[in-house]
Amino acid sequence: MKKTWRIMAGVLLTAALLMSACSKNDNSAGQGKNGAGEGGESQTPVKLSAFINQSPNLANLNNPFTKLVEEKTNVQLSFTVGTPNDNNDKRNVLMASGDYPEIFLSGNFTPAEQMKFGKQGVFLPLNDLIDQYAPNIKGIFEERPDLRTAVTSSDGNIYGMPQVNECYHCWYAQKLWINQKWLDNLGLDMPTTTEEYAEVLRAFKTKDPNGNGIADEVPLSGALYTWHGDITGFLMNPFIYNNGDGQSFSYIRVKDGQVQLSASQPEWKDGLGYLASLYKEGLIDPQTFTQNQEGLQQLGNNVGETILGSFAIGHVQMAVAATDERNQDYVAVPPLKGPNGVQLSGYYKSVGNQGRFAITDKANEEQQIAAIKMLDYLWTEEGTRGQVFSVEGHSWSKATSDQLNVNGQPASYQVDPSYRSETIHTDGWDQAGPDFRPRDRFESEAVSQDILSPEGYELRLVMETNKYEGFEPKEDEMFPIDIFISAEDGEKAAQFKATIEDYVRSNMLQFITGHKDIQKDWDSYVQGFGGLKLTDYLQILQSAYDADLSKMK
């Protein structure tokens, strides 16, 4: 589960890599430099070199699931391995050197990169291969045309295939958690507005909710570089839509069909004023803007008394350990209503990591066909479950007739409890490859109906997430997470994006902490976007947005 979230934190737009290659945009199999012309079935396994991310939680990639994939699809895999810390760096070196493999299983290529390498002929179009040799995926595309649309570039080709993970609580991961026991101790109701929340924080600070007679309470904290640990995500949404916190196109919204930067609007100023007032009163932990997840965990797992009142993070056990019963004291705060009636939740539904799988021009025709057949298997329920966990009977098995899933319906499978507690797994790919987990598959696991038990945690997350559903902006007010920027604009957009988002974050911190005055310095802050080419950036995004709308018609 935690790996999935890391995936959802990855960006969709980075600087395109510089390399030269001849253009090959013909949408057919058998285009590779080493094309041998073979296309029929072979008794001899087809050798495929593949790049894959090996999690530190996985002991060895040469495990039962890899062998099952090879047997099912008649391939022999040789891996070049990255890790979560260096995956993209290793991938970039391979691409720049030209010494890349026949396929990528953990490519994590942005739409801009897919377009660039596709136009260069380095990535082969997958359209015809899917239609001819991947009946499972073809059927999924027929049932879910939205998926085909999402992975199709503006030139009509599919250059990369994703890991689709329709995790409901991940869609609404921008959550704020509060200590319900403290609310009860002080006789307080769950806050529903920004002013009510400020009153709760004041009570947490001054009324000794942990009852130890010491003013040691931390009313509000968070963590940077952590999945939705930035408090400004949740707390700006009562003023204006903020999809920040490291997502693909942070601080971008759509209003009346026009792409805008939320962080330059008057409502953003109001939100900053609210956060600055909380900070000035000492209600926000100063470490919130510098600490990582480990720092937040030290507060949540404090030895002795509970000292943490509320915090932002994707799910509660990222801050208060599953082994610490105090995590049961925290519940999600529903979206707060701001002074002007705005009440929004962040929303991050997408097709997932879009460029996870790609076939390169190093693959001959036989290898292309074998690779797409392997992808087709990886997108089956068996292939997906094997990647996430293991082969059947190792860490999961079919559910019994009395076991229920998170929706209270009969479950499809059960996971061995020992798997959840293992630090090192000996099977599966630990979610490294392309797979297909629509919501019905994701939620088909057997769970305890006791939400406070370890086996009921997923159900608890679903129930807490229900508080956020329906508060996301309308679909035509959100800039799509899965969107293709043209190869020509991709590199410029990536540069604009990086400088503009850095500028927003830096100034947000200065305004909140009082180093800049909201009233005196706001105008110069807005004017500063001119030098960062905000207009050019928004024009690129507008063109991509308009093209995306046309693609859906």
Q: Which residue has the higher pLDDT, 217 or 244?
A: 217
pLDDT attached to residue 552: 67
pLDDT attached to residue 485: 87
Closest CA to 345 of 169, 200, 492: 169
Q: Average of pLDDT values for 396-403?
A: 96
Residue pair 217/204 in contact by the 8 Å Cβ criterion:
yes
Q: Which two tokens stand for residue 454?
A: 């370890």
Q: Which residue has the higher pLDDT, 162 or 487?
A: 162
Residue pair 316/327 in contact by the 8 Å Cβ criterion:
yes
Mean pLDDT of the chain: 90
Query: Given pLDDT bands bounded at 50, 70 and 90, which one contains residue 26?
Result: very low
pLDDT at residue 436 is higher than 90:
yes
Distance of CA 503 to the CA centre of its chain: 23
Residue pair 366/42 in contact by the 8 Å Cβ criterion:
yes
Residue pair 96/17 in contact by the 8 Å Cβ criterion:
yes
Which tens digit of pLDDT belongs to each residue from 439-448?
Answer: 999 999 999 9
pLDDT attached to residue 5: 37
Bridge partners for 330 per DSSP: 179
Query: Given pLDDT bands bounded at 50, 70 and 90, which one contains residue 119?
Result: very high
Residues in the chain: 553
Which tens digit of pLDDT belongs to each residue from 302-350?
Answer: 999 999 999 999 999 999 999 999 999 999 999 999 999 999 999 998 8
Which tens digit of pLDDT belongs to each residue from 33-59?
Answer: 333 333 445 589 999 999 999 988 899
Residue pair 374/66 in contact by the 8 Å Cβ criterion:
no
pLDDT attached to residue 185: 98
Query: Given pLDDT bands bounded at 50, 70 and 90, which one contains residue 553?
Result: low
pLDDT attached to residue 85: 81
Neighbour count for residue 490 (Cβ, 10 Å): 24
- Residue type, position 135, single letter: P
C-alpha span between 188 and 215 (Å, rounded): 19
Q: What percent of the chain is predicted at pLDDT more than 90?
A: 79
Q: Average of pLDDT values for 49-70?
A: 94
H-run or E-run covering 381: helix 381-388
pLDDT at residue 463 is higher than 70:
yes
pLDDT at residue 89 is higher than 80:
yes
C-alpha span between 243 and 67 (Å, rounded): 41
Query: Given pLDDT bands bounded at 50, 70 and 90, which one contains residue 95?
Result: very high
pLDDT attached to residue 451: 95
Query: Given pLDDT bands bounded at 50, 70 and 90, which one contains residue 60?
Result: very high
Lowest-confidence segment of 82-91, 196-205, 419-428 by average pLDDT: 419-428
Which tens digit of pLDDT belongs to each residue from 177-207?
Answer: 999 999 999 999 999 999 999 999 999 999 9
Query: Given pLDDT bands bounded at 50, 70 and 90, which one contains residue 84?
Result: confident
